[in-house]
Amino acid sequence: MSDSDDACTYWAPTECEGSIHCPPRCPRFVDTEGDRWVVRPPTADDRDALVDMYDDFAPGERAQGLPPRNRSRIVDWLDGLLEEGCNFVVVGQERVVGHALYTPTDDAEPEFAVFVHQDYQHRGIGTEVSEHVLATAVVGDRNALTLVVQPGNRPARRLYDTLGFKAVEDVSYTQTGRPRSVLRMRRPLDSSADTVSCRHPPLVRGDLSPTVPGPAASD
């Protein structure tokens, strides 16, 4: 992409150097299976697609009661996130497959969350959309991102470890008369090299996303 371009149509991320028009992180992403995606803030038109994505979540993919099981509850929960949070969606030609955010936007250390539909997991999508949230939080001068996770949720823990979250507290509580626990994690947002690197275009970051030839897909 050149500095004179108003819109990017670049699909060779390992060669792109970015420009003054680029957002904090390049929105175009090629996953580990070679499929193309755009990571961007949601529009009003994405709301129904997000509801459909969450409504189609398999029961085993829900964690700590999220997303809610009932469609009407999904709508209420999602509307709150879209209104109060900083959101990103992962969009392909046919559907929305991922969503990540921090909320509330006016908190110095807001809470982070990421969701990827089960049919599209293990392809780098969750990591990529999470990096967009991190990059935007850095630009927004947030001090840190926080989250809570069940200690036994190993896939989530691996992702959070990759993103730089560190465990800070083990919180115990009782639910329906049974002892429970969650792990609170925190990701400081400062000027360290690993945080700032998520804001660079792919060539500067040294990403190894596959180069996909051919014309750009429509957003």
Q: Are the beta carbons of 24 and 138 closer than 8 angstroms? A: yes
Residue 94: what pLDDT?
83
Please count the CA atoms within 13 angstroms of the CA of 204 that sit on its side-chain side. Answer: 14
**DSSP conformational letter for 28:** E
**From edge to edge, which strands make up the β-sheet containing 96-103?**
28-30, 36-40, 86-91, 96-103, 111-116, 144-149, 178-188, 166-175
**Residue 185, strand partner residues:** 147, 167
pLDDT digits (tens, 9 = 90+) for 34-64: 999 999 999 999 999 999 999 999 988 888 8
Q: Are the beta carbons of 210 and 34 closer than 8 angstroms? A: yes
DSSP 148-203: EE-TT-HHHHHHHHHHT-EEEEEEEEEETTEEEEEEEEEEE-SS-HHHHHTTS-HH
Domains with residue ranges and CATH for the chain? 28-205 (3.40.630.30)
Type and span of the H or E element at 77: helix 71-84
Q: Which residues of the chain have pLDDT under 70?
A: 1-21, 175, 191-219
Which of 1, 93, 81 is closest to 38 using CA atoms? 93
Residue 38: what pLDDT?
93
19 phi, psi to nearest 5 deg: -155, 180
Between strands 86-91 and 166-175, the pairing is: unpaired
Backbone conformation region of residue 176, classed left if phi is above 0, alpha if psi is from -120 to 50, else beta: left
**Residue 100, strand partner residues:** 88, 114
Cα(124)–Cα(112) distance, integer angstroms: 18
